[in-house]
């Protein structure tokens, strides 16, 4: 028997049931019974078809913190266990174990026997979790105990589940930084044509001064040079103690790839190398044809060294972070700071997490919106475990977070007063793990500390009603890593808070709104840090205010985020694209257009997208998409916070 | 796809009566010993759109925070060799009892793993190759699965059955129809695959997925005679097959920590409620050669008795359409259940069978030789696996009383 169409199944079943129900009992004969039974039996067999579970869970809990956690744990028992197993046991933990080789080479404590037999990452997360727990308020510890009891898992497993994000990002920042230390570096640039072109190419107010065409490379959010001759060649100096592999040098200019086989790319030693050493590489790119005047050009530089690292497998050369620089050609009439080092999408990176807030003149009805797309670590797992968790803390105090099973928080949320907050990670070495190395040097452990970010969010949502109160509360916390918070409330107040762990006592939180006249809210040129108008703000995975998060020597020369973070250039690019879209739709934004912006292909991380949401703080409504990768491919389901059950 | 077993599928046919006709019964006191060898090959799965696919979906693998490393592809090739011994005994004029003892003599699964590279990995300066991935996986305790070879001499689920030929009265008589009811039951004598092995196969009814734990057939056939000789037989057989719910051990990841660690959230065991089968077979049987017929000893030297023996050569063609109902997994994890349910949605399979039997009874030798070939990949199915089976066998008939 063929599978019947669903509509046909429904119709037949309905008809049979009606016939059955409408038949007077005295008229029920064997024939009718057999006929109806047979049809129902056959139809039920033919029509039964498994349906997928809902893409995410919506759970409403109430009572004391422990009771709420207990309900959470009971309701999501299998998913919590699944999330722990799939995200940690079979993904992150074995993955982090691979880093032990590199880490124990620097931090001797990890050579200890207790860290052997695959226990390195497990102990790392647990020790760090215990340290982080010292900064978690008791109410949330109680809630996690409830989750543990409800799910039947050990409390420490739940604690690890709620803190692994903070520890992992801190550890990742260190291992990624160390990888970059061992990889080629773009040291300097030489553009001979700049020395005599009659233009101020480095935008320093001087024209054709000596060595104008020679500069040390520094990662920048804006253009490196301006007004270059259209036929100017660029020479790059690439350096690595193991030697730079010329075969792996790739230069991309506006998405055209040049390598050692390209006639427009010359690769040669920078100078004669000393015996036993490797010479730097001189990589000269010449435009195949003169470039257009008045154009913005971006270049991406990729390189690897000649040494092959066997650990962790697979064997690989040390690859440099793709560096990115931008310049304008002559007659552009733009200053460096007016040109974003936007680059272009070459398929090697994804847009990181980002969010934006709109209000007043930016939205069609003047009401505030907060839109957020969080992406970081899906690993084929997280999207299956998304939970919209509604917590009735007390009468009149309801909070919703969009997170994951077993976690008592999310990376975005809103409370009954209309305060909505979204969080993006922002790579920094100004974190507790580095601080431990600073304090204990080679005897250090990679222990995180401070308030885990999700608990910071919960404290703000649970305890504040307005942006001002929330931002102040968050600014007063000791943070576990670099984070960018975007806060919006029902009145339309909005604010960005950038934080690191302030391990030297010199940085800490920086907050700003869209008004560039506000102290600390503008860049060196008087422009708003993260707004295109008076009523918008955005965040990404890079700092705009906290640009010198750490610049110090701790075993290595540690430099600010923009010099090493793999998220930096993609975040600059994403922010610029988002800003352009916001500007072009200013005054017309509503929920649908905010969703459409989140779904723009060049803003969507197709690998590690986790959740997407648009909050309407004034209406206490949220529109959530999750359960797919990317999350923005899912339906944005609408919920009214006070009506969620 | 979230991996389960790379493969546990094979199929063959173990009819309770190996005869082509579905209404034939043995005379009382006659015992038929049937031995056959089946060679089963499976490498195709029909998807929801009736398109041929590899037996399992690709498995996406991710670098934590680094996106898709790539997709493990597999085009498994599954071979089972099975020896089937059957005994049939004519008990009454219209009733034959039967028992089938299938023994897997060997089985092999070659997963034919491949790789589709994922996204560029900046820390490597390249995309993961297949060798890169398995090197990466090995550093996390996961070895690349190899070929499976096993089940040598392992008993499959034994089958007991009975066929009752309905009295040819009333409508049957007036239309000249033969009709029979056949019931068969499988005994759980087979073996489940090792749950910890990524590539493994079992020998249970579920693994066979070709006959049920209990089946009820109704067959109607009509013989056509030309020049006094029955040369053509047409038949229809409808059946319903029930597969009972069964419980399996959940993999713990002891052997494949990255790909088979399910027990912590699925539970120590899980239940499977296989979808039942509803089938209909159309049969055409032709007799190109009836004789010669000799008054041989087994006919008591009676030429009339010898003429009642099967013809020298029969050929048959059959087409079976089987509707397969949804199979449901039941565990602690609804998501895990769905990841299996979706590969066993309701569907169907089309089996085309060709065969022939050479009977030597009219020549005085109480045995026959037969061969058949069954294909399930000639006509597309839906949400089912297609197994092709070549079977050869011999039958020996003995008068017991």
CATH number of the domain bearing residue A281? 2.60.40
A77 contacts B332? CB cut-off 8 A: yes
Residues of chain A with pLDDT under 70: 1-47
Residues 6+ apart with CB under 8 A from A439: none
Please tell me whether residues A170 and A227 are part of one structural domain.
Answer: no
pLDDT by residue (tens digit) across A543-554? 999 999 999 999
Hey, is the C-beta of A172 within 8 angstroms of any chain B C-beta?
A: yes
Q: Is the dihedral of CA B24, B30, B31, B37 positive or negative?
A: negative
Please report whether residue A329 resides in a domain.
no
Please tell me whether residues A519 and A605 are part of one structural domain.
Answer: yes
**For the residues B311-317, what does the mean pLDDT come to?**
94
What residues form DSSP beta bridges with B99? B87, B160
Count how many pairs of residues, chain A against chain B, have C-beta atoms within 8 Å. 146
Residue B16 Cα distances to B22, B99, B181, B183, angstroms: 10, 7, 12, 9
Chain B residues in contact with A314 (beta carbon < 8 A)? 124, 128-129, 131-133, 135-136
Which one is predicted more confidently, B140 or B189? B189
Angle between helices A453-463 and A467-475 (to 10 degrees): 140
Chain B residues in contact with A322 (beta carbon < 8 A)? 122
Distance of CA A318 to the CA centre of its chain: 24
Please tell me whether residues A572 and A595 are part of one structural domain.
Answer: yes
Residues 6+ apart with CB under 8 A from B280: B236, B237, B238, B239, B320, B321
Residue B120 has pLDDT above 70, yes or no: yes
The helix/strand/coil state of A328 is strand
Cis before A314? omega within 30 = yes
In chain B, what are the helix, strand and coil shares in percent, each to the nearest 5?
10, 50, 40
CA terminus-to-terminus distance, chain A:
42
pLDDT, averaged across chain B: 90
Distance of CA A7 to the CA centre of its chain: 43
Hey, is the C-beta of A78 within 8 angstroms of any chain B C-beta?
A: yes
The pLDDT score that the predictor gives to residue A572 is 97
Please report whether residue B37 resides in a domain.
yes
Chain A residues in contact with B278 (beta carbon < 8 A)? 1, 45
Please report whether residue A447 resides in a domain.
yes
∠ CA A268-A274-A277, rounded to 5°: 75
Residue B106 has pLDDT above 50, yes or no: yes
- The Cβ of residue B50 has, within 10 Å, a number of other Cβ atoms equal to 13
Hey, is the C-beta of A323 within 8 angstroms of any chain B C-beta?
A: no
Tokens 């670099």, located at residue = A482
The DSSP bridge pattern shows strands A510-512 and B313-324 to be unpaired
Which one is predicted more confidently, A534 or B3? A534
- Which among B189, B186, B161 is positioned nearest to B103, based on CA atoms? B189
Please report whether residue B23 resides in a domain.
no
Which tokens sit at A644?
A: 């969620």
Residue A616: which region, alpha, beta or left (left: phi > 0; alpha: psi -120 to 50)? beta
Please report whether residue A36 resides in a domain.
yes
- Tell me which of A296, A320, A344 is where a domain ends: A320
Please report whether residue B277 resides in a domain.
yes
Which tokens sit at A617?
A: 């703080």
- A-interface mutation test, from B4, B125, B266, most A Cβ less than 10 A away: B125
Please report whether residue A449 resides in a domain.
yes
What residues form DSSP beta bridges with B53? B45
- A-interface mutation test, from B65, B260, B278, most A Cβ less than 10 A away: B65
Q: Residue A216 belongs to what domain range?
A: 185-320
The pLDDT score that the predictor gives to residue B121 is 85
Asked if residues A504 and A521 have their Cβ atoms less than 8 Å apart, the reply is no
Distance CA A285, CA B223 (A): 87
Please report whether residue B3 resides in a domain.
no
Asked if residues A407 and A136 have their Cβ atoms less than 8 Å apart, the reply is no
- Which among A425, A426, A427, A428 is positioned nearest to A552, based on CA atoms? A428
Q: If contacts are CB pairs under 8 Å, which of residues 225-284 in chain A contact chain B?
A: 248
Please tell me whether residues A159 and A300 are part of one structural domain.
Answer: no
B332 contacts A321? CB cut-off 8 A: no
Please tell me whether residues A381 and A484 are part of one structural domain.
Answer: yes
For chain B, count helices (H), then strands (E): 6, 21
- Which among B346, B351, B392 is positioned nearest to B11, based on CA atoms? B351
Exposure string (b/e) for A224-257, b if CB count within 10 Å is 16 or more? bbbbbbbebbbbbbbbbebbbbbebbbbbbeeee
CATH number of the domain bearing residue A140? 3.60.60.10
Please report whether residue A399 resides in a domain.
yes
Distance CA A103, CA A98 (A): 10
* Total length of chain B: 401
What chain B residue is nearest to A121 in terms of C-alpha separation? Answer: B140
Residue B153 has pLDDT above 70, yes or no: yes
What residues form DSSP beta bridges with B98? B88, B161
Please report whether residue A344 resides in a domain.
no
Residue B218 Cα distances to A39, B17, B92, B181, B182, angstroms: 19, 14, 19, 5, 7
Please report whether residue B2 resides in a domain.
no
Which tokens sit at B315?
A: 């050929």
Please report whether residue B295 resides in a domain.
yes
Min distance B113 CA to chain A CA atoms (Å):
19
- Tell me which of A268, A298, A320 is where a domain ends: A320
Q: What ranges make up the beta strands (E) of A72-220?
A: 185-190, 214-216
The DSSP bridge pattern shows strands A57-62 and A386-394 to be parallel
Asked if residues B78 and B42 have their Cβ atoms less than 8 Å apart, the reply is yes
Please tell me whether residues A604 and A494 are part of one structural domain.
Answer: yes
Distance CA A167, CA A169 (A): 6
Give A455's DSSP letter. H
Residue B46 Cα distances to B1, B54, B280, B357, B378, angstroms: 16, 8, 19, 31, 11
Residue B229: which region, alpha, beta or left (left: phi > 0; alpha: psi -120 to 50)? beta
Q: Residue B96 belongs to what domain range?
A: 30-399
Please tell me whether residues A38 and A99 are part of one structural domain.
Answer: no
Distance CA B79, CA B388 (A): 10
pLDDT by residue (tens digit) across B154-181? 999 999 999 999 999 999 999 999 999 9
Asked if residues A222 and A524 have their Cβ atoms less than 8 Å apart, the reply is no
A319 contacts B62? CB cut-off 8 A: no
- Which among A282, A291, A273 is positioned nearest to A235, based on CA atoms? A282
Exposure string (b/e) for B177-192, b if CB count within 10 Å is 16 or more? bbbbebebbbeebbbb
Q: Exposed, middle or buried, A70 (CB in 10 Å: 0-12/13-18/19+)?
A: buried
Please tell me whether residues A89 and A215 are part of one structural domain.
Answer: no
Please tell me whether residues A410 and A476 are part of one structural domain.
Answer: yes
Q: Is the dihedral of CA A70, A76, A80, A82 positive or negative?
A: positive
B120, B136, B261 member nearest A89 (Cβ): B261
B64, B333, B348 member nearest A95 (Cβ): B64
Chain B residues in contact with A305 (beta carbon < 8 A)? none
Distance CA A308, CA A316 (A): 5
Please report whether residue A330 resides in a domain.
no
In chain A, what are the helix, strand and coil shares in percent, each to the nearest 5?
35, 25, 40
Q: Any alpha helices (H) in B74-148, and if so which ranges?
A: 130-139
Distance CA B340, CA B3 (A): 9
Query: A223 φ, ψ to 5°?
Result: -60, 150
Min distance A339 CA to chain B CA atoms (Å):
26
Q: Exposed, middle or buried, B383 (CB in 10 Å: 0-12/13-18/19+)?
A: buried
Distance CA A262, CA A252 (A): 12
Min distance A321 CA to chain B CA atoms (Å):
7
Distance CA A271, CA A287 (A): 24
Please tell me whether residues A25 and A73 are part of one structural domain.
Answer: no
Q: If contacts are CB pairs under 8 Å, which of residues 81-100 in chain A contact chain B?
A: 81-82, 84-86, 89-92, 94-95, 97-98
CA terminus-to-terminus distance, chain B:
59
Chain A residues in contact with B66 (beta carbon < 8 A)? 607
A79 contacts B345? CB cut-off 8 A: no
Please report whether residue B209 resides in a domain.
yes
A3, A92, A316 member nearest B64 (Cβ): A92
What chain A residue is nearest to B258 in terms of C-alpha separation? Answer: A90
The pLDDT score that the predictor gives to residue B15 is 41
Min distance B126 CA to chain A CA atoms (Å):
9
pLDDT by residue (tens digit) across B321-376? 999 999 999 999 999 999 999 999 999 999 999 999 999 989 999 999 999 999 99
Least confident of A468-472, A481-485, B206-210, B239-243: B206-210
Please report whether residue B89 resides in a domain.
yes
Please tell me whether residues A533 and A420 are part of one structural domain.
Answer: yes
pLDDT by residue (tens digit) across B290-302? 989 998 888 889 9
Q: Domain total for chain A?
A: 3
Hey, is the C-beta of A44 within 8 angstroms of any chain B C-beta?
A: no
Residue B194 Cα distances to B148, B206, B249, B253, B260, angstroms: 11, 14, 9, 12, 12
Q: Is the dihedral of CA A461, A462, A466, A470 positive or negative?
A: negative
A53, A95, A317 member nearest B125 (Cβ): A317
Asked if residues A212 and A198 have their Cβ atoms less than 8 Å apart, the reply is no
Distance CA B142, CA B127 (A): 20
Q: Domain total for chain B?
A: 1
Q: What ranges make up the beta strands (E) of A330-482?
A: 354-358, 369-375, 386-394, 397-404, 410-415, 420-425
Please report whether residue A476 resides in a domain.
yes
A380 contacts B61? CB cut-off 8 A: yes
Please tell me whether residues A244 and A257 are part of one structural domain.
Answer: yes
The helix/strand/coil state of B42 is strand
A50 contacts B341? CB cut-off 8 A: yes
Which tokens sit at B120?
A: 């560029």
Residues 6+ apart with CB under 8 A from A232: A191, A192, A193, A194, A197, A287
Chain B residues in contact with A377 (beta carbon < 8 A)? 64-65
Q: Is the dihedral of CA A239, A245, A247, A248 positive or negative?
A: negative
- Which among A424, A428, A419 is positioned nearest to A472, based on CA atoms? A419
Chain B residues in contact with A304 (beta carbon < 8 A)? 125
A45, A179, A377 member nearest B64 (Cβ): A377
Min distance A570 CA to chain B CA atoms (Å):
13
A316 contacts B125? CB cut-off 8 A: yes
CATH number of the domain bearing residue B137? 2.40.160.40
What residues form DSSP beta bridges with B225? B230
B122 contacts A3? CB cut-off 8 A: no
B335 contacts A50? CB cut-off 8 A: no
């Amino acid at each position: 028997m063929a599978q019947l169409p669903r509509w046909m199944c429904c119709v037949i079943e309905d008809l049979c049931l009606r016939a059955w129900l409408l038949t007077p009992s005295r008229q029920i004969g064997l024939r009718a019974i057999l006929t109806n039974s047979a049809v129902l039996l056959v139809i039920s067999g033919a029509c039964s078809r498994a349906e997928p579970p809902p893409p995410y869970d919506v759970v409403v809990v109430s009572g004391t913190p422990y009771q709420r956690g207990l309900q959470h744990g009971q309701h999501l028992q299998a998913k919590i266990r699944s999330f722990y197993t799939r995200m940690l046991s079979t993904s992150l933990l074995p993955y982090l174990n691979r880093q032990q080789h590199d880490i124990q080479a620097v931090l001797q404590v990890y050579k200890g026997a207790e860290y052997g037999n695959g226990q390195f990452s497990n102990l790392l997360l647990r020790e760090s979790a215990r340290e982080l727990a010292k900064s978690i308020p008791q109410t949330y510890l109680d809630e996690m105990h409830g989750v543990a009891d409800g799910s039947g898992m050990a409390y420490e497993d739940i604690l690890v589940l709620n803190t692994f994000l903070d520890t992992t990002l801190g550890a990742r920042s260190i291992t990624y930084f160390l990888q970059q230390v061992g990889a080629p570096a773009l040291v300097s640039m030489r553009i001979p044509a700049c020395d005599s072109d009659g233009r101020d190419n480095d935008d320093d107010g001087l024209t054709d001064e000596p060595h104008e065409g020679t500069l040390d490379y520094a990662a920048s959010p804006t253009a490196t040079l301006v007004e270059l001759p259209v036929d100017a060649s660029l020479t790059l100096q690439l350096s690595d103690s193991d030697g730079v592999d010329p075969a792996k040098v790739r230069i991309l200019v506006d998405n055209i790839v040049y390598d050692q086989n390209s006639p427009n790319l010359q690769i040669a030693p920078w100078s004669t190398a000393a015996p036993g050493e490797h010479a730097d590489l001189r990589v000269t790119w010449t435009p195949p044809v003169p470039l257009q005047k008045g154009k913005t050009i971006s270049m991406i530089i990729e390189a690897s060294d000649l040494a092959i690292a066997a650990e962790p497998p697979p064997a690989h050369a040390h690859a440099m972070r793709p560096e990115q620089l931008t310049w304008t050609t002559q007659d552009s009439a733009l200053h460096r700071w007016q040109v974003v080092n936007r680059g272009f999408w070459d398929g090697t990176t994804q847009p990181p997490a980002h969010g934006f807030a709109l209000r007043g003149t930016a939205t069609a009805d003047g009401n505030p919106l907060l839109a957020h797309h969080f992406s970081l670590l899906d690993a084929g797992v997280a999207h299956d475990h998304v939970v919209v968790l509604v917590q009735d803390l007390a009468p009149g105090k309801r909070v919703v977070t969009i997170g994951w099973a077993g976690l008592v928080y999310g990376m975005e949320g809103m409370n009954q007063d209309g305060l909505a907050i979204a969080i993006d990670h922002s790579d920094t070495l100004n974190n507790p793990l580095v601080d431990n190395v600073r304090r204990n040097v080679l005897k250090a452990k990679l222990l995180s500390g401070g308030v885990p970010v999700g608990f910071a969010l919960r404290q703000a949502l649970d305890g504040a009603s307005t942006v001002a109160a929330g931002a102040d509360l968050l600014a007063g916390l000791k943070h576990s890593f670099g984070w960018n918070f975007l806060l919006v409330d029902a009145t339309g107040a909005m604010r960005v808070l950038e934080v690191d762990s302030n391990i030297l006592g010199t940085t800490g939180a920086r907050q700003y709104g869209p008004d560039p006249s506000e102290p600390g809210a503008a860049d060196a040129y008087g422009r708003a840090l993260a707004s295109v108008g008076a009523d918008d703000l955005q965040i990404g995975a890079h700092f705009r205010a906290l640009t010198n998060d750490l610049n110090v020597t701790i075993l290595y020369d540690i430099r600010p985020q923009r010099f090493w973070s793999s998220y930096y250039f993609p975040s600059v690019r994403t922010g610029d694209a988002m800003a352009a879209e916001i500007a072009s739709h200013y005054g017309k934004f509503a929920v649908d257009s905010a969703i459409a912006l989140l779904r723009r292909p060049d803003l969507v991380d197709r690998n590690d997208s986790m959740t997407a949401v648009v909050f309407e703080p004034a209406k206490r409504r949220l529109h959530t998409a999750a359960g797919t990768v990317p999350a923005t491919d899912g339906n944005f389901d609408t919920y009214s916070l006070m009506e969620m059950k | 796809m979230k991996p389960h077993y790379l493969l546990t599928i094979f199929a063959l046919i173990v009819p309770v009566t190996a005869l082509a006709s579905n209404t034939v019964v043995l005379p009382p006191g006659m015992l038929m010993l049937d031995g056959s060898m089946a060679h089963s090959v499976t490498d195709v799965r029909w998807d929801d759109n009736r398109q041929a696919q590899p037996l399992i979906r690709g498995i996406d693998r991710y670098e934590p925070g680094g996106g898709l490393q790539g997709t493990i592809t597999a085009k498994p090739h599954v071979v089972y060799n099975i020896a089937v011994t059957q005994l049939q005994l004519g008990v009454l004029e219209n009733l034959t009892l039967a028992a089938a003892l299938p023994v897997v003599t060997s089985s092999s699964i070659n997963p034919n793993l491949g790789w589709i590279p994922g996204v560029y990995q900046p820390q490597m300066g390249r995309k993961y190759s297949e060798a890169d991935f398995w090197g990466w996986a090995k550093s996390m305790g996961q070895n690349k699965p190899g070929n499976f070879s096993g089940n040598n001499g392992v008993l499959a689920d034994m089958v007991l059955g009975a066929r009752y030929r309905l009295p040819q009265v009333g409508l049957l008589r007036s239309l000249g129809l033969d009709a029979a009811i056949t019931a068969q039951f499988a005994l759980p004598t087979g073996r489940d695959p090792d749950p910890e092995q990524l590539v493994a196969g079992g020998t249970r009814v579920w693994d066979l997925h070709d006959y049920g734990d209990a089946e009820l057939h109704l067959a109607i056939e009509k013989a056509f005679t030309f020049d006094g000789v029955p040369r053509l037989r047409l038949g229809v057989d409808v059946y319903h097959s029930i597969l009972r719910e069964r419980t399996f051990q959940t993999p713990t990841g002891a052997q494949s920590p990255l790909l088979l660690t399910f027990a912590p959230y699925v539970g120590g065991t899980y239940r499977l409620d296989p979808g039942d089968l509803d089938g209909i077979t159309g049969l055409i049987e032709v007799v190109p050669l009836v004789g010669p017929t000799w008054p041989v000893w087994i006919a008591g030297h009676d030429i009339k008795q010898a003429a009642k023996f099967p013809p020298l050569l029969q050929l048959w063609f059959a087409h079976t359409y089987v509707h397969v109902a949804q199979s449901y997994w039941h565990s602690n994890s609804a998501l895990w259940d769905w990841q299996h349910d979706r590969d066993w949605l309701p569907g169907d399979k089309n089996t085309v069978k060709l065969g022939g039997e050479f009977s030597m009874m009219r020549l005085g030798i109480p045995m026959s030789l037969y061969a058949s070939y069954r294909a399930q990949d000639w006509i597309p199915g839906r949400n089912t696996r297609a197994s092709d089976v070549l079977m050869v066998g011999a039958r020996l008939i003995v008068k017991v009383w």
